[in-house]
Amino acid sequence: MHKFDVFSRISLIVVDYAALLTAFSLSYFVRVGWIFSTDFPFWPYFKVSLIVSLIWIGFFIVFRLYSLQKRTDTRGHIARLILVNLLGMGTFILFFFSFRKLLFSRLILIYVFLISVLLLILTHYFSEKIRGLYSKKSIGISRVLVIGTNRSATKLLQTLKTLSSRHRPVAILDGYGSSKEEIAGVPVLGKLNVLESTVDKYKIDEIIQVDNVEQALNIITFCQKKRLEYAMLPSLLGVFHDQIEVKTLEFQPVVRLKNKKRRIFERLFG
């Protein structure tokens, strides 16, 4: 894990915490007017918001909204952010009923939810855009070696390039060699016999395998030895890639074949 990744996520957590406190403060003033009300004292209310905001951030961490492997500007991420915000609101409501003498307005709950959602969407969206700008300057990137030169490799490389991903392909190898000299601007350097020298020369951080499935065990062992990240595209499993899913068997991860005829109960709880 790069220091930049750690710094970027810690920074986002701090910014989110500040955004939540801002949401609580704005909600207070929207509700009572731009004054410090004597009927609804601000400082006791703000102390409650300090505690609730910490718990709120805890929910974000538990539900992996700060995962380095996921973008924070996608619709799916924003949808999860809104759902987790509901948990945060549930926590605030508990405090609300615990301190009813302090928090007299139920309307403030709606204001907090709406303003916090808006501010958090903005912080997560712009956080990803800032990471993209740094990636273009090769700051905080993960240098990727791609194994394979098939159509899946071409699609992967084009996607990473289009998204200005922090995963930066810098070299390609193919188990049987390739007539191609480059794919999407990334050079094809030869066969797997130059794997170690390529990793050392290009300072590779992770390997993504998209072909040569028979070499998977050797490549995984090599990654463990070199302490490199390893990923495999599902298409590497051929015609079965859309028919498998990762499940657990007595706390052990296993790959299972999907049963398309499963009953509704099994689909929900299996």
One digit per residue, the tens of pLDDT, for the chain of length 270 reads 567 777 888 899 999 999 999 999 998 888 887 777 676 778 888 888 898 899 999 999 988 888 876 777 788 888 889 998 988 888 877 776 665 555 556 788 889 899 999 999 999 999 888 887 777 777 778 899 999 988 888 988 998 888 778 888 999 999 888 888 899 889 999 898 999 999 999 999 899 998 888 888 899 899 999 988 888 887 776 645 555 566 655 555 565 656 555 555 444 444
AA letter at 150: N
Q: What residues does CATH 3.40.50.720 cover in the chain?
A: 142-232
- The radius of gyration computed from the CA coordinates of the chain, to the nearest angstrom, equals 24
Residue 132 three-state SS:
helix
pLDDT number for residue 266: 47
Q: Are 253 and 247 in contact (CB under 8 A)?
A: yes
pLDDT number for residue 177: 80
From the number of C-beta atoms within 10 Å of its C-beta (0-12, 13-18, 19+), residue 209 rates as buried
Closest C-alpha among 5, 138, 147 to residue 70: 5
Residues 6+ positions from 34 with CB-CB distance below 8 Å: none
Residue 91 main-chain phi, psi, to 5 deg: -65, -45
d(CA 95, CA 185): 56
Q: Are 158 and 142 in contact (CB under 8 A)?
A: no
Bridge partners (DSSP) listed for residue 246: 255
Residues counted in the chain: 270
Closest C-alpha among 168, 163, 169 to residue 146: 169
Neighbours of 55 (CB within 10 A): 14
d(CA 256, CA 247): 7
Closest C-alpha among 6, 125, 133, 2 to residue 67: 6
Query: pTM for the full model?
Result: 0.66
Closest C-alpha among 67, 80, 84, 76 to residue 13: 67
Task: Outline where DSSP puts E strands in the chain.
Answer: 142-147, 167-173, 182-183, 186-190, 206-209, 229-232, 244-249, 252-257
Q: Are 92 and 52 in contact (CB under 8 A)?
A: yes
Q: Are 66 and 9 in contact (CB under 8 A)?
A: yes
**CB burial string 118-138: b at 16+ within 10 A, e below:** ebbbebbbebbeebeeebeee
pLDDT number for residue 68: 72
pLDDT number for residue 2: 65
Topology given in CATH for the domain delimited by 142-232: Rossmann fold (3.40.50)
Bridge partners (DSSP) listed for residue 143: 168
Q: Are 135 and 151 in contact (CB under 8 A)?
A: no
